[in-house]
Structure 1
Amino acid sequence: MAFTIVLHLLLVLFPLKYTANDNVGITVDLIPRNSPLSPFYNASVTHFDRLHDAFERSLKRVNNFKRVLENRARSSKFQTQIIPSEGEGEFLMNISIGTPPFQVLGIVDTGSDLTWTQCLPCRECFKQKLPFFNPKHSSSYQTVSCESSACNHLYLSTCSGDRKTCEFGYSYGDGSETSGVLSSDTFTMGIKNPVSLRNISFGCAHDTTGKFDESMSGLVGLGGGKISFISQIGESVGRRFSYCNPRVEASSTSSKVVSGIMSFGKDAVVSGSGVVTTPIISKELDTFYYLTLKGISVGNKRVSYKGSKVTENENEGNIIIDSGTTLTFLPAGFFDDLVKALEEAIDGEKVDDPGNVLRLCYKSTVDNLNIPILTAHFEGGDVELQPFNTFVQVADGVVCLSMLEGDTPVYGNLAQRNFLIGYDLEASKVSLVSRDCSKH
């Protein structure tokens, strides 16, 4: 279950109630998993170690994306239950479920759809720091029947003997599994004006095995599928969300508390001067958000996009934008051309990545190396990437290009830092504008 955003939702005992006809906006805090505000934070681990761990999660996540797409191409319904990750996401979400509200912590994942949490009775569950959700304590809880549209939206579901209960089962790329009962309840979210959203379908997991972290208790799916959280709240607040991730300063001892914001509904509209809007391209697997990248310029030198052997004929929808993947991945030939252009433009001493992950590194810092502006040419407009979007400090005195070659192209969250990015699923578009995301 992957997750590249962390949403911190203030829980309240008496949330405001809205109907489907109200024009509602919701704004929440967005907290990186390695922030001191996150339960994943370990003060004994250096900033650079945390960064390297994020790179490793990126590699796992993109490999799992590849596996999902390959399985989908084989048209096997059983295989499509395999979803991207088991906790590699980069943001967490505290949300309240039930009446009265009960706090649940999950990784937010724009690369999967179903929202789920561990529930009592737990036949086999991973250890978690937070208490388990007990459906018997919520007056608004109910199970979902097999005849419901929500059950039909699951990639794989089974039914109880009386067909009154829809059951789900998901496998993750690393072999982890979760299964249980598809349910619905009231979800509460929002900072200044908390909102309760009724009848949200989610997975009440009673059996969960594999590599899950005890700091989490489930997953919040923000993919484009019909069972995803963002799709379900469409009738109440609209199928729109946006986020703004701040730049994180590089330091071996850095522990600065930084957070961004995430908004839903009318609060998620991205407009004004400098906004670049690019279409979301629909594909058979509607979970992922596909954009069209035409090329990347290094200063004034344009490097045209070209796909891998697998994707060479894909001119549209050739890259997934994902908040849960730290690095950006490009087809091998395109990546090689980009690296060559960067080597020609940058005057610096090349060194190896101490973590043996990234390919183009220099003995310097991001601020002292003469890194040119990179411009990502999307269908619909150009996005200028600052040096901190494209290079990252991986050790004291070593800076590396935060991009790699990969068969599954992904536009990662380092490239998205200090951009307000809005997803409008009704209009099928993504809008981006440069913004200081530390000021909100």
Structure 2
Amino acid sequence: MLLPSHLSANIDRGFSVNLIRKNSPHVLPLDTPQASINAYLGHYLMELSIGTPPFPIYAIADTGSDLTWTQCVPCNNCYKQRNPLFNPHKSSSYTNISCQSDLCHKIDTGVCSPQNLCNYTYAYASAAITQGVLAQETITLTSTTGKPVSLKGIVFGCGHNDTGGFNDHEMGIIGLGGGSVSFISQIGSSLGGKRFSQCLVPFHTDPSVSSKMSFGKGSEVLGEGVVSTPLVAKQDKTPYFVTLLGISVGNNYLHFNGSSNIVAKGNMFLDSGTPPTILPTQLYDQVVAQVKSQVALKPVTDDPSLGPQLCYRTKTNLDGPLLTAHFEGANVTLKPIQTFISPKDGVFCLGFTNTSSDGGVYGNFAQSNYLIGFDLERQVVSFQPTDCTKHK
């Protein structure tokens, strides 16, 4: 069930926002809502405004979670934030959600406070956690024509106790997953459909360079070079599950399950909030072995700060090899800018890691420099190679 959200104008039009890191020649119809998005320390910060009058926030764009939240006054047990905190008392459109409301139970941890407010606790795989009060607010985006697009009654978390590995630029998280309380689910009916697209600039792009995230009608990824793979529905509605058949390193194809020809549907999910791509150990080990065999440089073995990851000493990124992610129906080619990341000067490391799990995560390093469309109406994800530093 979609949560109530209403456009004050331009019903059934899309919109977009800045993603802090940006770029690509994709022409959108007029009045598609957008947000700016840019890269900072491995995450992507999305810019939007909350409340009346609009208060700008810069929060992590996260396709792997549903709850949208920002740090709010008072915030005694919160991580340090360089920008002012959102003060709900200064917004005329802020409304607390009571614990009797159905909205309180949109997330499993909604509980009643002594003041009859809907308290929440929301935890992440990274061990970060936010606790606070569920409320409704007006969120404002900007259309492609520069007009404000106001979305009323958006359920969000006013965080009063937020801990974890957040840096002082991050003012919260925008939950872009597929669950009922996610930003996408709440705004879809107002914007002509549950769909959005993103173009993430590569890691270490200057934070002043931003791209756009687009929402609703007009955000479809179409045109030359587009490949698409089906979304796989599972009991957990939040992650965007897809099927990875295998990975090629150069011309060497590595099957997801090694010798087995059977691949479980939905064995990977795309997560803009996780930097590295995470593979089951057996496949990860094969990828590392193939990369080693195709790179003439000697791997770094004498720097404990790098841990077990595959790294090379080089002043500039490697020339190759090309990697190809073979999704069901879609081959996505990855260049070194998407697969080798520089954690320190003069060193580039493979932006992959391993897990004992049977499934994996397609992280934001690999998603960069692709215009990626998530169409929840058609249940597909589409990829188009794009210079995201030029995507406006």
Verify same fold: TM over 0.5.
yes
Instruction: Identify which range, 416-425 or 134-143, moves more after superposition.
Output: 134-143
**8 Å CA contact 1:358, 1:401 repeated in 2:** no
Does the CA contact (< 8 Å) of 1:358 and 1:404 recur in 2? no
CA contact (8 A) 2:38 2:44 kept: no
CA–CA separation in structure 2 for the residues paired with 1:130 and 1:368: 37
Q: Residue 129 of structure 1 aligns to a residue in which SS?
A: coil
- Give the total of aligned pairs: 364
What is the aligned counterpart of 1:17 among 3, 8, 24? 8
Q: Name the structure 1 match of 2:173.
A: 219
Alignment check: 8 A CA contact 2:316 2:346 kept = no
Q: 1:422 aligns with which of 373, 378, 386?
A: 373
Whether 1:189 aligns to 2:141 is yes
Give the TM-score normalised by the residue count of structure 2: 0.82
Secondary structure in structure 2 of the residue aligned to 1:94: strand
Deviations 1:312-356 (A, max 9, x none): 986111112111222111111111222222333333333337442
Q: Does 1:403 align with 2:356?
A: no
**Structure 1 residue corresponding to 2:287, chosen from 338, 344, 348:** 338
Give the secondary-structure state (helix, strand or coil) at the position aligned to 1:130. coil
Give the superposition deviation at 1:97. Answer: 1.5
Q: Which moved more, 1:256-265 or 1:273-282?
A: 256-265
Query: 2:126 & 2:295 partners in 1: Cα distance?
Result: 39
Q: Within 1, Cα distance between the matches of 2:166 and 2:247?
A: 37
Q: Which runs of 5+ in 2 are unaligned?
A: 1-6, 23-35
Q: Secondary structure at the match of 1:91?
A: strand
Q: 1:174 to 1:375 in 2, by over 3 A?
A: closer
The structure whose residues are more often strand, as a share, is 2
SS in 1 for 2:367: coil
Aligned residue number for residue 360 of structure 1: 310
Alignment-derived partner of residue 294 in structure 1: 245
What amino acid is aligned across from residue 26 of structure 1 in structure 2? F
Contact 1:126–1:214 at 8 Å: present in 2 too?
yes
1:279 is matched with 230
In structure 1, C-alpha distance between the alignment counterparts of 2:133 and 2:63, rounded to whole Å = 22
Is the alpha carbon distance of 1:358 and 1:289 closer, same or farther for their aligned partners in structure 2, counting shifts above 3 Å?
farther
2:142 is aligned with what amino acid? G
The alignment's TM-score, normalised by the length of structure 1, stands at 0.73
| 1:384 to partner: Cα distance | 1.4
Change (3 A) 1:242 1:126: same
- 1:158 aligned to 111, 115, 134, which one? 111
Tell me which amino acid in the other structure corresponds to 1:128. Q
Distance apart, 1:427 and its partner CA: 1.9
SS for the counterpart of 1:232 is helix
The code of the aligned residue for 2:226 comes to: V
Match of 1:413 in 2: 364
1:353 and 1:398 in contact (8 A); partners too: no
Taking CA–CA contacts closer than 8 Å with sequence separation of 6 or more, which of the two structures ends up with the larger relative contact order? 2
Q: Which protein has the bigger helix share?
A: 1
Q: Check conservation: 1:94, 1:103, Cα contact below 8 A.
A: yes
1:247 Cα deviation after fit: 3.3
Higher deviation after alignment, 341-350 or 273-282? 341-350
Give the whole-Å Cα distance in 2 for the aligned partners of 1:175 and 1:384. Answer: 32
Q: What letter matches 1:342 in structure 2?
A: V
* Aligned-residue CA RMSD (Å): 3.1
